[in-house]
Amino acid sequence: MRAQPVTPHVGYVYPAGGRQGTRFQVTVGGQYLVGATNACVSGSGVRAVFLEYVKPLTPQQASQLREKLKELQEKRQSAGATGRKNGSQTSTNLTWTAEDQKLLMEIRQKLATFQRRPANPAIAETVILQITMAPDTEPGERELRLETQFGLSNPILFCVGQLPEFAKLAATGNREILANAGKKFGAQPPSAAAPTEMNITLPAIVNGQIMPGGVDRYRFQARKGQRLVIAVNARGLIPYLPDAVPGWFQAALTLYDAKGRELDYADHYRFHPDPVLYFEVQTNGAYMVEIRDSIYRGREDFVYRISIGETPYITGIFPLGGPAGAQTVVEVSGWNLPAATLTHTNNEPGIVPLSMRKDERVSNHVPFAVDTLPECVEQEPNDSPAGAQPITLPVIVNGRIDKPGDWDVFRFEGHAGDDIVAEVYARRLDSPLDSVLKLTDASGKQLAFNDDHEDKGAGLDTHYADSYLRLKLPADGTYYLHIGDAQHQGGPEYAYRLRVSPPRPDFALRVVPSSINVRPGTIVPITVYALRQDGFSNNIVLALEDAPAGFALSGGIIPENQDKVRLTLTAGPTAAKDPVSLSLNGGAIIQGHPVVHPAIPAEDMMQAFAYRHLVPAKELDVAMFGRSLGRGGVRILGATPIKIPAGGTAIVRLGTPTREFSGRFQLELSGPPEGITLQSTGPSVDGAELVLHSDAAKTKPGLKGNLIVNILPGKNQDAAQKGKKQGNQRRGPVGVLPAIPFEVVAPG
């Protein structure tokens, strides 16, 4: 019996969305997609049906096809051959059939896309789906996952739109570069690929893929007075590319008139990599929008959607948030908006999306923060300590850096030993402000300063531009808090929320991965990250909420002062036809009160070969595939956590229904802390026992966590494979034990 050797991975979907009330095909590119049978889309109103799986040719298969192609070509030549010998005409007895012609064309088509060394094996396999969207499907972002024989893939963003859609044909993987093309509308490198052009009518969403050197162009008619918003969604569809620099598709957008004159250009919008243009049409006539990668890279996962039309688009709001349990009147700026304000009812604390509708069309969404602290609005002039605005702690100040070089200064009274936190929410709320914070005393002496502060909860940000300070005040007296922009920029859109208060210890949780694949009744490891705030350090107890029967967690505690834990999930005993959605939460005692927060599903994504990000997902889905391997009854006997003396050993006893670990399987620690090793394993009265060792030079008393133990094929299974070609491939695990909580203690 074998465990799942690989995890299905989806790298892109194209087109990455469609219009309400339509049916269309999409291509999903990825790896380990063999046996794909279905796809699921989050939310309601979208149905996906599997049509076809296409795997790239291996070099051996390509060689065999070339031989077959050669045979067919020789047959066709012989079948049509004529000659003259001694003045008479002769011919062969071979007949060229329609079936022969069809086979020849199929082989040519397959070989046309063959690459001896695929540029990116991670997106080399494709699956074709048919998507059906109900007319009343709610517009917005969804997640698409493939279902394969090995389980569920990672999620990929998929959009429900309201406008008519246009799409290029899906890229086939042919990397042939064409030269001397597309010079009319601007220079391109000599190796640029031939541009793709399409005529469209507005309003529209256009879908495309940029291949190496590729340039796509869309022509349309526009009328004088139209106010067009041209917004690209590219990096927003696929946040990170692990093997590219920069670690995403960096779209460059250009608008031309009918004579090829450049009217506008953008390769970003404020701090967002995806560009947006706003254009007021001055003359009736033809226009063209062009999109390419800023440095002419490209491949199948350089997918984009461009919205073009008089659509509503929010460029800024003020304030960026409001108090819980109240209504906030929000000033809204942007293009093609129905009003200059909206009223938002603030419910539970957190960050919620705001949008507006115009003629049933929904604008882009912007974040809005809801909090429980008292709030006030910044009052000008407050540019210096002499004119500092007085505030009373705790408070959230809603303000703006109104103009380039502006500083806002706030004054408060403090006492010696007061623990004070000052935190800016701006970039995390879609403001372009790159904040700087400094705290001074009454004499002007700087006590603390911060520019950028990392927030691992902001998984889509690569520049942590918001500032954070924490310190104990040295004496009674007056203190001044200064906020400005690090780039000396400013304007009405440079809004912020400044929290000044004693520490508010708290936490947020992320659970990885968001797609879990497991056989019924067996065990799989998962990871939960604790994003601790304002010095919170207590244990966090994890639990499943309203889980189906048979699902359970082992090792569900994040120890104090630790930022993550690996634990295990036991699946229910019976396979389910559809993926099961789980909810996981974490509870802790904070300042004497119980606090419970949900664990947000996330994907651990790599960017540009090195940087890792926790990107939130919409659902935590579990796919149970295949039959049970019969090891669901394994349990840890005795009290936990297991106490391992520093420099010594501890025994873990396992209860197993059949004592199956005795010679039939081997055990191995998976990613243990440095210094913790599995010294030996063996049978016991109840099943098996493990001897754990702690290296005193590498581990210290107080170290806590979970140990994950993989189950590997043992000697008996090796013997069963005798005579079969094994190669140098390492044996993969066939299962996992329940997580073993441990603690390193002082030698006794």
- Say how many C-beta atoms besides its own lie within 10 A of residue 446's C-beta: 11
CA 13/CA 626 separation, integer angstroms: 27
Q: Which amino acid is at 685?
A: V
Residue 560 in this model has a pLDDT that exceeds 90 = yes
CA 317/CA 699 separation, integer angstroms: 51
Q: pLDDT at position 481, please? A: 98
Q: Phi, psi at residue 146, to the nearest 5°?
A: -90, 145
* Rounded average pLDDT over 566-572: 95
pLDDT tens-place string over residues 729-739: 455 678 899 99
User: CA 725 from chain center: how many Å?
Assistant: 39
- Say how many C-beta atoms besides its own lie within 10 A of residue 100's C-beta: 15
- pLDDT band for position 656 (50/70/90)? confident
Name the packing angle between helices 98-112 and 59-79 (round to 10°): 140
Q: pLDDT at position 107, please? A: 84
Measured over the CA atoms of residue 292, residue 293, residue 296 and residue 301, the dihedral's sign is negative
User: CA 494 from chain center: how many Å?
Assistant: 27
CA 412/CA 419 separation, integer angstroms: 13
Which SS3 state, helix, strand or coil, does residue 61 take? helix
**Beta-strand runs (E) in 223-284:** 227-233, 251-257, 262-266, 276-280
Residue of 637, 645, 652 lying closest to 702 (CA atoms): 645
Q: pLDDT at position 109, please? A: 73
- Which conformational region is residue 550 in: left (phi greater than 0), alpha (psi within -120 to 50 degrees), or beta? left
CA 143/CA 161 separation, integer angstroms: 14
Q: pLDDT at position 120, please? A: 84
Cis peptide before 246 (omega within 30 of 0): yes
Q: Provide the β-strand partners of residue 18.
A: 160
Q: Which residues contact 720 (CB under 8 A, 6 or more apart)?
A: none
Q: pLDDT at position 186, please? A: 39
Residue 641 in this model has a pLDDT that exceeds 70 = yes
CA 674/CA 573 separation, integer angstroms: 35
Superfamily of structural domain 507-624: Immunoglobulins (2.60.40.10)
Q: Provide the β-strand partners of residue 90.
A: 83
Give the HSE-up count for residue 261: Cα atoms under 13 Å, Cβ half-sphere: 4
Supply 599's token pair.
Answer: 């664990």
- pLDDT band for position 2 (50/70/90)? very low
Residue 395 in this model has a pLDDT that exceeds 90 = yes
- pLDDT band for position 198 (50/70/90)? very high
CATH of 635-722+730-745, one of 2.60.40, 2.120.10, 3.40.1620, 2.60.120: 2.60.40
- Which residue spans of the chain are classified as CATH 2.60.120.380? 375-496
Residue of 641, 627, 637, 629 lying closest to 567 (CA atoms): 641
CA 253/CA 232 separation, integer angstroms: 8
* Rounded average pLDDT over 410-430: 98
Cβ 157 vs Cβ 238: under 8 Å: yes
* Rounded average pLDDT over 142-167: 95
Q: Which of 495-499, 611-615, 635-639 has the lowest mean pLDDT?
A: 635-639
Highest mean pLDDT among 119-123, 176-180, 342-346: 342-346
Q: Provide the percentage of residues in the chain whose pLDDT is more than 70.
A: 89
Higher pLDDT, 86 or 320: 320
Please, what is the average pLDDT of the chain? 89
* Rounded average pLDDT over 84-105: 70
- The total number of residues written for the chain in this structure: 748
Residue of 484, 480, 414, 417 lying closest to 446 (CA atoms): 480
Domain at 375-496, CATH class: mainly beta
CA 164/CA 699 separation, integer angstroms: 62
Q: pLDDT at position 177, please? A: 28
Residue 303 in this model has a pLDDT that exceeds 50 = yes
Residue 173 in this model has a pLDDT that exceeds 80 = no
pLDDT tens-place string over residues 44-80: 999 999 999 987 777 787 888 888 888 888 888 888 7
Residue of 127, 115, 240, 70 lying closest to 603 (CA atoms): 240
* Rounded average pLDDT over 262-274: 97
Q: pLDDT at position 5, please? A: 54
Q: Indicate whether this model's pTM tops 0.75.
A: yes
What is the edge-to-edge ordering of all strands in the sheet holding 635-637? 635-637, 649-655, 687-694, 676-683
Q: pLDDT at position 717, please? A: 43
Residue of 718, 705, 629 lying closest to 666 (CA atoms): 718
- pLDDT band for position 517 (50/70/90)? very high
Supply 720's token pair.
Answer: 């069963």
Which SS3 state, helix, strand or coil, does residue 195 take? coil
Instruction: Using alpha carbons, list the distances in angstroms from residue 141 to 131, 158, 180, 250.
Output: 15, 6, 39, 21
Residue 87 in this model has a pLDDT that exceeds 50 = no
pLDDT tens-place string over residues 707-745: 999 988 875 444 334 444 444 445 567 889 999 999 999
pLDDT tens-place string over residues 660-689: 555 577 889 999 999 999 999 888 887 889
* Rounded average pLDDT over 358-385: 96
Burial status of residue 174 (CB atoms within 10 A of its CB: 0-12, 13-18, 19 or more)? exposed
Residue of 672, 670, 669, 696 lying closest to 680 (CA atoms): 669
